[in-house]
Chain A
Amino acid sequence: MSIRPRSSPVRVAEIVPVTPFVKRFRLAATDASPLPRYSGGAHIVVEMRDGGVVRRNPYSLTSSPLHDGDYEISVQRAEVSRGGSVFMHDRVRVGDTLAVSAPVNLFMLDWRARKHVLVAGGIGITPFLAQMAQLSAEGRPFELHYCIRSPERGAYREALERCFPGHVRFYCASKGERLDVTQLVASQPLGTHLYVCGPTPLIDATLEAARAAGWPGHNLHAEHFAAPPSGTPFDVYLQRAGLRVYVGEHESLLEAIEAAGVEVPYLCRGGACGQCETAVLGCDGRLQHHDHWLTTADRAAGRKIMPCVSRFDGRELVLDL
């Protein structure tokens, strides 16, 4: 009964270098039917055909949700790429065709908030670009705190200062500037919602500070921008398909299963949405959970795995697929 993520073709209309590490891609519909609209924080999954390998990476939509037309995504070239971001940076040309899923929003604004405080780290700025376009147009109170490693890594810094004057603050680590999250969460009016996207340490520190300051859990929102981690290769046996599948070092379990021709429902491919939850039928070894979905009790029980990000180390893993 699950709704399959269907993909539709788009044409790469424009590629703009934003920083030495980030490129912006404008994606246009290939026919007269317009691309589905979306809300700030939504992502699409981009499907790349890299030789015989199909790569699927989620990217936040950075274009304004208020206007019809093309999609924009911003792709950072990963330092240790599993292939997707390097493919986007080095191989994709204007005029190429890619496939994208319909937008899904797993990082929604809470429209009840009296104020929105956005905390971005590095490329974690991307979902906020679309959200700020919406917040600004509707005249809602918001502020962005944007942590960057160095000035050359501050994607969209000038544009943000120009478009949202008075709403943005930058913290450049190479200049010794640091966002004091404890102070930030200590001084917000009642009814504020806090959103954080970026590296895991930033997310953890921000949420921890907010909880310690007594913020209600429902006012805290995070989007982890983690790619599936690499790791030691392993084998998995898919019980229903009767298939033994090899999972390579830089390949996720989900990708290996898909490459073997078995479909698993997914939305985020980042361990957050819960769609790809799969039952573990046999496990002689250790499950390496990297998701944000399973509960501590789930992990202790060892009967479920999120194949989009999690791995296995041991002799035998059997999944209910």
Chain B
Amino acid sequence: MELAFNEETFRDDFTFRNSPHAIRRFPFPFHEDRYMYAVNIEPHVPGPKGSVYEFPIDVDEHYVSEMRDRALVLREDPLRCQALPHMMTAQWDLLELLMTAMARDYPEHFALTRDGDRWHWINRPLGLDQRFVFGDALTLPCEPMEYVTRQSQGDFALLDHRDGNLWMDAGMITTQADWSLDFDIGMNFFEWHGPVPLAHEMGVFERALKYLLELRVGSPVRRLNWTMTVNPRLDTSPERYPSWGPDRLSLTPDNIGRKLHLRVELQSFWRLPRSNAIVFPIRCYLISLEDLVTVPKWGRRLPRVLRSLPQQLVDYKGLTRYRDMALEWLARYDDGAATSPGGAPD
């Protein structure tokens, strides 16, 4: 399918919209009518054509506008992008991974030519043409992680692997579900997951860490995570809480279908070759309830899932104020019929 880029905003007037194609390919995260934590990790292998899994790095109709929103966030708050000094090798690993994947899978939009260390990168949607020396950060306008992640959708955390743990030692985090790189930087896997309820007691993080430490180059894995966001806002960071926290008070039974969005993160995990670090891309997909219920299976399943959530999860995900209102709005789309297994539309 030909990729056309939307002209849209994720703030102020919120002109963000999903095309019918974007709705069909939305990564609906609930494979059954209830939800509980699980280490739901699977190999990040290519999925069906047109799906968000078709290519390892998904570029979609929101690309240009998301990159513009990222630039706005960084202009206000440069600390959303940070890298500790020992992460430079990992930065180059990440640049190579993203440029190689985007140029290979979207050749009409991106091109990469490599002549030894001399690289030439063309990004047509953003109008960039850059020659640089791989490994020499002075030949780029900024450090390599910042350069390439200003051109890649989703957040990116770079995790150093040492002492049998993973350490959040670099990242570009501007589209996050209420966590802060500036707060977490330098923390290890257990420290930055400290606030998550229930999962620690279930031993989820020990198992997840053990699994991630075994990651091999060339065999990435993925999982979906989710929450809900009022208005299609990418930057729901603690730093900007005053600008989005009050949005929750703006919901009414009349506008909730339009304003409340299911926010799904496609999280993937890749071993990086030369640094032995791990990159953790967190790609955010948003869909309004109105658009979501155009898929009848999702309209039936979402209210059942929301009803099944334990209170701790409702509170942790910030749904406390509006879960009941959302359930009321969604009720008319659940006719009680059985739903098929898996998250894909019928």
Tell which of B72-80, B160-168, B259-267 binds the partner: B160-168
Q: Quick check: B219 and A3 within 8 Å, CB to CB? A: yes
Residue of A nearest to B167 (CB): A112
Closest beta carbon of chain B to A222's beta carbon, Å: 14
Once the chains are docked, how many angstroms separate the CA of A105 from the CA of B89? 16
Checking B88, B160, B215, B217 against A38 with a beta-carbon cut-off of 8 angstroms, the contacting residue is: B217
Once the chains are docked, how many angstroms separate the CA of A1 from the CA of B215? 12
- Contact residues in A for B215 (Cβ distance below 8 Å): 3
Closest beta carbon of chain B to A108's beta carbon, Å: 5
> Given A1-B41, A110-B162, A111-B87, is A102 in contact with B275 using a C-beta cutoff of 8 Å?
no
Closest beta carbon of chain B to A193's beta carbon, Å: 10
Closest beta carbon of chain A to B292's beta carbon, Å: 31
Once the chains are docked, how many angstroms separate the CA of A218 from the CA of B89? 21
- Contact residues in A for B273 (Cβ distance below 8 Å): 36-39, 65
Q: Quick check: A105 and B216 within 8 Å, CB to CB? A: no
Once the chains are docked, how many angstroms separate the CA of A138 from the CA of B86? 11
Closest beta carbon of chain A to B43's beta carbon, Å: 9
Q: Quick check: B216 and A3 within 8 Å, CB to CB? A: yes
Once the chains are docked, how many angstroms separate the CA of A178 from the CA of B278? 40
Number of B residues with CB within 8 Å of any CB on chain A = 25
Q: Which of B39, B211, B216 has the most CB of A within 10 A?
A: B216
Q: Quick check: A65 and B274 within 8 Å, CB to CB? A: yes
Q: Quick check: A66 and B274 within 8 Å, CB to CB? A: yes
Checking B39, B88, B214, B276 against A108 with a beta-carbon cut-off of 8 angstroms, the contacting residue is: B276
Tell me, yes or no, whether A200 is within 8 Å of chain B by CB: no
Tell me, yes or no, whether B207 is within 8 Å of chain A by CB: yes
Closest beta carbon of chain A to B153's beta carbon, Å: 25
Q: Quick check: A102 and B217 within 8 Å, CB to CB? A: yes
Q: Quick check: B86 and A39 within 8 Å, CB to CB? A: no
Q: Which of B84, B90, B274 has the most CB of A within 10 A?
A: B274
Once the chains are docked, how many angstroms separate the CA of A248 from the CA of B276? 37
Tell me, yes or no, whether B218 is within 8 Å of chain A by CB: yes
Q: Quick check: B275 and A111 within 8 Å, CB to CB? A: yes
B 141-164 binary contact with A (CB < 8 Å = 1; else 0): 000000000000000000011110
Tell me, yes or no, whether A134 is within 8 Å of chain B by CB: yes
Q: Quick check: B276 and A105 within 8 Å, CB to CB? A: yes
- Contact residues in A for B39 (Cβ distance below 8 Å): 1
Closest beta carbon of chain B to A161's beta carbon, Å: 25
- Contact residues in B for A65 (Cβ distance below 8 Å): 273-274
Q: Quick check: A1 and B211 within 8 Å, CB to CB? A: yes
- Contact residues in B for A1 (Cβ distance below 8 Å): 39, 41, 207, 211
Tell me, yes or no, whether A121 is within 8 Å of chain B by CB: no
Residue of B nearest to A111 (CB): B86
Q: Which of B88, B160, B207, B276 has the most CB of A within 10 A?
A: B276
Tell me, yes or no, whether A104 is within 8 Å of chain B by CB: yes
CB proximity to B under 8 Å, residues A1-51: 1-3, 6, 36-39, 41-42
Q: Quick check: B211 and A39 within 8 Å, CB to CB? A: no
Once the chains are docked, how many angstroms separate the CA of A37 from the CA of B214? 15
Closest beta carbon of chain B to A139's beta carbon, Å: 11
Once the chains are docked, how many angstroms separate the CA of A112 from the CA of B87? 8
Tell me, yes or no, whether A103 is within 8 Å of chain B by CB: yes
Closest beta carbon of chain B to A308's beta carbon, Å: 16
Once the chains are docked, how many angstroms separate the CA of A103 from the CA of B275? 13
Closest beta carbon of chain B to A173's beta carbon, Å: 33
Once the chains are docked, how many angstroms separate the CA of A2 from the CA of B160? 21
Once the chains are docked, how many angstroms separate the CA of A276 from the CA of B96? 34
> Given A3-B211, A110-B162, is A36 in contact with B218 using a C-beta cutoff of 8 Å?
yes
Once the chains are docked, how many angstroms separate the CA of A103 from the CA of B276? 10
> Given A1-B41, A138-B89, is A108 in contact with B217 using a C-beta cutoff of 8 Å?
no
- Contact residues in B for A257 (Cβ distance below 8 Å): none
Once the chains are docked, how many angstroms separate the CA of A273 from the CA of B160? 18
Once the chains are docked, how many angstroms separate the CA of A104 from the CA of B161? 12
Once the chains are docked, how many angstroms separate the CA of A65 from the CA of B273? 8
Q: Quick check: A111 and B218 within 8 Å, CB to CB? A: no
Once the chains are docked, how many angstroms separate the CA of A134 from the CA of B89? 10
CB proximity to A under 8 Å, residues B208-238: 211, 214-219
> Given A1-B41, A102-B219, A218-B163, is A267 in contact with B214 using a C-beta cutoff of 8 Å?
yes
Residues of A that sit less than 8 Å from B by CB: 1-3, 6, 36-39, 41-42, 65-66, 102-105, 108, 110-112, 134, 137-138, 218, 267, 275
Residues of B that sit less than 8 Å from A by CB: 39, 41, 84, 86-90, 135, 160-163, 207, 211, 214-219, 273-276
- 6 A–B contacts from the bound complex (CB under 8 Å): A1-B39, A3-B214, A38-B274, A102-B219, A111-B86, A111-B89
12 more contacts with CB within 8 A, not counting A103-B216, A112-B84, are A1-B211, A3-B215, A38-B217, A39-B274, A39-B275, A41-B276, A42-B276, A103-B217, A108-B161, A111-B90, A218-B163, A275-B214
